[in-house]
Chain A
Amino acid sequence: KEEVEKHDEL
């Protein structure tokens, strides 16, 4: 689940 929230890269 944490991967979905962390789209912090371009």
Chain B
Amino acid sequence: MNIFRLAGDMTHLLSIIVLLLKIQATKSCAGVSLKTQELYAVVFVTRYLDLFYSFISLYNTVMKIIFLLTAFTIIWYMRKHKVVCQTYDKEQDTFRVLFLIVPCFVLALLVNHEMSVTEVLWTFSIYLEAVAILPQLVLLQRTKNVDNLTGNYIFMLGSYRALYLVNWVYRYFTELGYRQWIVWVSGTVQTCVYLDFFYYYVQAWRNNERMKLPG
């Protein structure tokens, strides 16, 4: 474990906490894409199957359980909570997620470290995570309302993977023979997907104004 990866994990955890607080405090999920939340739940389920058969560390196990529980809690709020589910703009959140899931799964079958069920599913989760934010970014473009908390959520979600990129550089130079090409390429793509958002987020922050996306 290094400081970059710990910072990345904490930023990821914080992003989820911010989203949960937004939903719980405002009893609203306006501007939040349920599709992205469901894609992330798929990412966590397919990636953390090793919870059942391999123990890495207490930290690793606890964080996986937290990520799984919070992901499903957010989905429960958006689908089942009587007040919150009325604030979900279903008509705008229409991204065809199959166009993300199927290619990622096919790619995981073609490019992986080992042709085993758990390894293919793990690889699938790596590819899927790179594009899981797309429905959320599309929803923002459509609804234009980037409320502060949702903006912070997306910013931190993008930042965590950027911190992981630094972690991979660090591990490459400090751990002889450490290679994770699949994760490195996918993580780079994932971070690039956020660059446009980062640009407008930082611009709004610099001008100390509410974030607005181009027409």
Q: Mark B150-180, 1 if CB is under 8 A from A, else 0.
A: 0000000000000010010000000001011
Query: Can you name the residue of chain A whose Cβ is closest to the Cβ of B59?
Result: A10
Chain A residues with Cβ below 8 Å from B114 are 1, 4
Closest chain B CB from A3 CB (angstroms): 5
CA distance A10 to B167 in the complex (A): 12
Within A1-10, which residues are at the interface with B (CB < 8 Å)?
Answer: 1-4, 7-10
Taking the complex as formed, is B9 at the interface, i.e. its CB lies under 8 A from any CB of chain A?
Answer: yes
Contact-residue size bin, chain B (C-beta under 8 Å from the other chain): 20 to 34
Contact between B50 and A7 (Cβ–Cβ < 8 Å)?
yes
Interface-lining segment among B60-68, B72-80, B82-90, B200-208: B60-68
Closest chain A CB from B5 CB (angstroms): 7
Query: Can you name the residue of chain B whose Cβ is closest to the Cβ of A3?
Result: B113
Taking the complex as formed, is B194 at the interface, i.e. its CB lies under 8 A from any CB of chain A?
Answer: no
CA distance A5 to B56 in the complex (A): 10
Please pick, from B60, B64, B67, B180, the residue contacting A3 in the complex, using a CB distance under 8 A: B180
Query: Can you name the residue of chain A whose Cβ is closest to the Cβ of B160?
Result: A10
Contact between A4 and B119 (Cβ–Cβ < 8 Å)?
yes
Closest chain A CB from B48 CB (angstroms): 8
CA distance A4 to B50 in the complex (A): 12
Query: Can you name the residue of chain B whose Cβ is closest to the Cβ of A2?
Result: B177
Contact between B56 and A8 (Cβ–Cβ < 8 Å)?
yes
Taking the complex as formed, is B124 at the interface, i.e. its CB lies under 8 A from any CB of chain A?
Answer: no
Contact between A10 and B9 (Cβ–Cβ < 8 Å)?
yes
Contact between B64 and A10 (Cβ–Cβ < 8 Å)?
yes
Taking the complex as formed, is B35 at the interface, i.e. its CB lies under 8 A from any CB of chain A?
Answer: no
CA distance A8 to B155 in the complex (A): 25
* B residues in contact (CB < 8 Å) with A: 5, 9, 12, 50, 56-57, 60, 63-64, 67, 113-114, 116, 119, 122, 164, 167, 177, 179-180, 183
Given pairs A3-B179, A4-B116, A10-B64, 11 additional interface contacts (CB within 8 A)? A1-B114, A2-B177, A4-B113, A4-B119, A7-B122, A8-B60, A9-B164, A9-B167, A10-B9, A10-B63, A10-B67
